[in-house]
Amino acid sequence: MADPNQQLPPGWTAEWEPDNQRFLFVEAATGRAQWEHPGTGGAPGQPAAPSASPPPTQAGHTTKRRQYAAGQTQAYYGASDGLAAPAYGGVAAPPPAPGGGQLFTPGLVAENQFAQQQQQPQPGAPSYYGQQQGEPEYINAPGYGQPPTTGYGQQGVSQLADQFGQMGVGGQKPFQIHTTNLLTSPPDPRDLEFPPPPIRLPPGACLTNSPLANAHHSYQRCTVNAIPNSGSVVSKVKIPLGLVITPYRSLKEGEEPVPLVTDTIIARCRRCRTYINPYVQFIDGGNRWRCCMCGMSNEVPQLFDWDQVRNQPGDRWARAELNHAVVEFVAPTEYMVRPPQPAVYIFLIDVSHSAVQSGMVATATRTILENLDRLPNEDQRTKVAVITYDTSVYFFSMTGESTDCTMLVMSDVDDVFLPKPNDLLVNLSECRGAIESLLGRLNDMFADNHTIGSALGPALQSGFKLINPIGGKLIVLSSSLPSVGSGALKNREDPKVLGTPKESGLLQTASPFYKTFAIECSRAQVSVDMFLFSAAYQDVATLACLPHYTSGQTFFYPAFNAARSEDAVKFAHEFGEVLAMPIMLEAVMRVRASRGLRMSSFHGNFFVRSTDLLAMPAVPQDTSYAIELQIEETISSPFVVLQTAILHTTCYGERRIRVITTAYPTTSNISEVFASADQVAIATLLANKAVERSITHKLEDARDAVQGKLIEILQAYKTSMTAAGAGASAQLAISENMRLLPVLVLGLLKNVGIRQSAQIPPDLRAYAQALLTSLPSELLIPYIHPTFYSLHNMPPEAGTVGEHGVILPPPLPLTSERLERHGLFLIEDGQTLFLYVGRDAVPQLVIDVFDLPNYETLRGGKTTLPLLDNPFSQRVNAVIQKTREMRHGPYHPHLYIVKEDGEPPLRLWALSGLIQDRADVLPSYQQFIGQLKDKVNGSSY
């Protein structure tokens, strides 16, 4: 690839943005930044330099590629070229109001100007997503907040410049607020690719100039990046204060590992126990340090400046904890209640008739067998046990001397006991032969099992007795509703209750056994993972309670059938990833904050052991936790620090402490709080709060609370930041950095977890809620705001390998107005992929992608896409593969082919991802914005 710096005008540089897989162009003199190649004058129509997503020119493209344009429908767009994706949000700019720009910005507006702006006629304005002739293609459209108009568009540019020009600590530039009108600026999905607003700390706040002195937002992000210094400011802005933490994020290839401090010299504040970090101050000639949280003066440890590896004086300023916000310490013995325990995995496998017939047992045993080498076992101490159950419980005794094993049956499930004191839980390395032999024969042992029923409770109790002295993981695979012994459940699915206030009862735990058992597990450092497979009701809400309180994970495979290769591949991939995952064992987590801030409530999979100590027997990778903050007293310091510390044992037997530190400036300026708001963190926190409220109250209460909070924020913005004040306004104003919050909230309201509907089975709703409370923001945002690509006319470089991996097409707004009858589209939410095929798709497209003669022969449903010997098939497959792999996490989404005139349930499911459309009783985005405007202006709220 050519170096883009060679093709830039003087004074511009190109910086590669790994998060967005494309170049950012920065003008050195002004700090202005934009995604588009500046060309000679920065005109949008100028040809772009090669980048991760260079837009094709509108006409005269010489690259040979197949064009599928059977109908070239122009139903929604008046574009002259039916293949070109139309301009996004191509609303004509209204005439500038006297004395100002297009939208109101505080301090820059004459009296009554704001109201005058809203009354300006807009001659020739096209429809909401329309396009006027001669405007550039959507894929060539100007970048973030930079339409080809003057006024507010330039403010968007300066905001982006602020974001990237001030990424380092010590920035002094104040936040600039830029107002946008939600009624005239449709949401651009590309905005979700941008990082949150920058954290602008006062000069001298940090010891170092390291860009890593503040934690990356993928580890820890706050709902606002400028903390209000008093409760009165919070009450005025109405933005919920919260912290979203993903402490154990997996690392993709090329990402730097977390620095490890191995000398066991850990400097902590004597009063508040904060770990030393880049925001402390050294005083008294460097012999003491002042805590950034409580102000206490502490002695620097004697060996802090000693290099133990070389046995000579070391460089204090090279220490990782003074340069990195995310760091891990090897813990000395005083941090251990007991020596680090080995990793223990106990597999509880359902072998009832339905489990064997569905192929679950065969797939599970084969997956465990194939992944034995991937189980964390570097120290050769890992222990494994296999317990199976139907209406009885079966133990397997293994020894290192033989590959044979002995099966012991416990048929009296009312009195649970261990039939042998030893040889049930064995060392993986020493008994490898016996374990492999057992897994190879397990499915055949129960192949003719006709027992129907499940003694899941007694099986859990048996596994707990086995693992209790050590702690570890219980991995449960269940294919039916527990029906025998402790924890037996009844089918409480009642279609008449769905969609009524009583529905929330189906999302609560049905039996106290599971919560009590979960708390016992948490106390004994035992974590439970649930893999649920059932064609009938399985009470996911009750069973997911075990992972919820023991920091485990829940996976749900409704109507699993291994005879369908797609089902077997999905389960095997996800189960294998969980087995291979390096986990934190025996973990406790505490979040500390500067004086004046307090943790008020916690959301996620853990058990709150004391007021602020979160007990997590095992911390899986890529799991998120949300914590609400409260301002107890006025904060006088210019910045505050939030520090998350997790004491844990690695699965390789080493006690460690992971510390994640983020510093935020404080402000009494309301506009700075609005300008620093992180819409993704706000949406993540609202999702967690909504799920909790739907269980403790009603689903309707949860929806009302989420929408009510959004209305409060919009009302606060209108009152504080616009000329309309408390009066009515013809527009719906919000700061530029929160312009996608309404569509994210709409996506949350339409998510299966809390959507208003009488058609959603309780199991699906409960599983969706488990995802909403555990997914990190990177996975949660696509889950509530899916990604939508047009494949039949994607740019020529999309689907090909660029310098930084496969290049994806530009995302489209989530509206069916973008669907074309001759088109091929991809809709994905991180859990499911839908390949939508228009009914007028030309035979050549169907041949190239599906290897079928025409559209009529194509069948909808779950499928595996063939990889054919033509460029278009290879590009489509590359896009799908990249979509499956680009995010962190163990999930492997199913791919469904959806025909425009195919099965209505599948089609409706796929199109429910287009959240800006009206669906059932749920409003379209335009209707939703209209409702918000009425409630913000009126007294109906």
| Per-residue pLDDT tens over the stretch 267-313 | 999 999 999 999 999 999 889 999 999 889 999 988 888 887 777 88
The pLDDT score that the predictor gives to residue 852 is 92
The CA distance from 109 to 866, in Å, is: 59
**Cα dist from 483 to 395, 478, 513, whole Å:** 20, 12, 13
- Kindly tell me if the per-residue pLDDT of 174 is higher than 50: yes
The CA distance from 813 to 20, in Å, is: 18
Stated pTM of the model: 0.81
The pLDDT score that the predictor gives to residue 164 is 42
The CA distance from 886 to 247, in Å, is: 19
Confidence of residue 724 (pLDDT cuts 50, 70, 90): confident
Give all strands of the β-sheet with 894-899 in edge-to-edge order.
787-790, 824-828, 832-837, 894-899, 861-862
Residue with tokens 């099992």, as numbered in its chain: 449
The pLDDT score that the predictor gives to residue 40 is 44
Residue with tokens 């290897």, as numbered in its chain: 851
Contact 648, 248 (CB under 8 A): no
Contact 646, 706 (CB under 8 A): no
Give the residues across from 665 on adjacent strands.
639
Contact 267, 289 (CB under 8 A): yes
The pLDDT score that the predictor gives to residue 18 is 66
pLDDT in tens, 644-688: 999 999 888 889 999 999 999 999 999 999 999 999 999 999 999
**Cα dist from 7 to 13, 47, 51, 57, 112, whole Å:** 10, 11, 12, 17, 46
Tokens encoding 858: 């194509």
- 3-state class (DSSP) for residue 61: coil
Over residues 527-542, mean pLDDT: 91
Q: Are strands 242-245 and 312-313 parallel, antiparallel or unpaired?
A: unpaired
pLDDT in tens, 749-784: 999 999 888 888 899 999 999 999 999 998 999 999
In 249-392 the beta strands, taken as DSSP E runs, fall at 260-261, 281-283, 288-290, 297-299, 306-307, 312-313, 326-330, 344-350, 383-389
pLDDT in tens, 405-414: 888 998 888 8
How distant is the alpha carbon of residue 130 from its chain centre? 32
Contact 12, 26 (CB under 8 A): yes
- Kindly tell me if the per-residue pLDDT of 550 is higher than 80: yes
Q: 741-749 vs 699-721: helix axis angle to the nearest 10?
A: 170
Choose among 277, 275, 280: nearest CA to 295: 280
pLDDT in tens, 180-238: 999 888 888 988 988 999 999 999 889 888 889 999 999 999 999 999 998 899 999 99
**Cα dist from 731 to 411, 714, 723, 924, whole Å:** 70, 11, 11, 18
Give the residues across from 288 on adjacent strands.
283, 299
Give the residues across from 585 on adjacent strands.
618, 649
- Kindly tell me if the per-residue pLDDT of 103 is higher than 80: no
Over residues 119-139, mean pLDDT: 34
Choose among 224, 167, 177: nearest CA to 198: 167
The pLDDT score that the predictor gives to residue 24 is 76
- Kindly tell me if the per-residue pLDDT of 84 is higher than 60: no
Over residues 156-175, mean pLDDT: 46
Over residues 503-531, mean pLDDT: 90
- Kindly tell me if the per-residue pLDDT of 170 is higher than 70: no
- Kindly tell me if the per-residue pLDDT of 902 is higher than 60: yes
pLDDT in tens, 319-358: 899 999 999 999 888 888 888 888 899 999 999 999 999 9
The CA distance from 697 to 699, in Å, is: 7
Alpha-carbon torsion (191, 194, 196, 197), positive or negative: negative
The pLDDT score that the predictor gives to residue 39 is 66
Contact 37, 25 (CB under 8 A): yes
> Residues of 275-306 as b/e, b for ≥16 C-beta within 10 angstroms?
bbbbbbeeeeeeeebebbbeeeebebeeebee
CA angle, corner 660, sides to 378 and 706, nearest 5?
Answer: 115
Contact 776, 624 (CB under 8 A): yes
The CA distance from 923 to 490, in Å, is: 36
The pLDDT score that the predictor gives to residue 143 is 34
pLDDT in tens, 403-461: 888 889 988 888 888 888 888 899 898 888 899 999 999 898 998 888 898 999 999 99
165 vs 176, more confident: 176
Alpha helix locations (H) across 474-559?
512-523, 540-543, 545-550
The pLDDT score that the predictor gives to residue 19 is 65
842 vs 311, more confident: 842
> Residues of 517-548 as b/e, b for ≥16 C-beta within 10 angstroms?
bbeebbebbbbbbbbbbbeebbbbbbbbbbbb
Q: Are strands 227-228 and 805-806 parallel, antiparallel or unpaired?
A: unpaired
The CA distance from 33 to 27, in Å, is: 6
Confidence of residue 163 (pLDDT cuts 50, 70, 90): very low
The CA distance from 885 to 12, in Å, is: 33
* DSSP structural state of residue 417: -
- 3-state class (DSSP) for residue 716: helix
Give the mean pLDDT of the chain: 82
Longest dimension (CA), the chain: 91
pLDDT in tens, 2-36: 566 667 877 777 877 766 667 777 776 666 677 77
Range ranked top by mean pLDDT from 87-96, 119-128, 619-628: 619-628
Over residues 909-929, mean pLDDT: 90
Percent of the chain with pLDDT over 90: 49
Over residues 871-888, mean pLDDT: 91
Q: Are strands 832-837 and 824-828 parallel, antiparallel or unpaired?
A: antiparallel
- Kindly tell me if the per-residue pLDDT of 71 is higher than 60: no
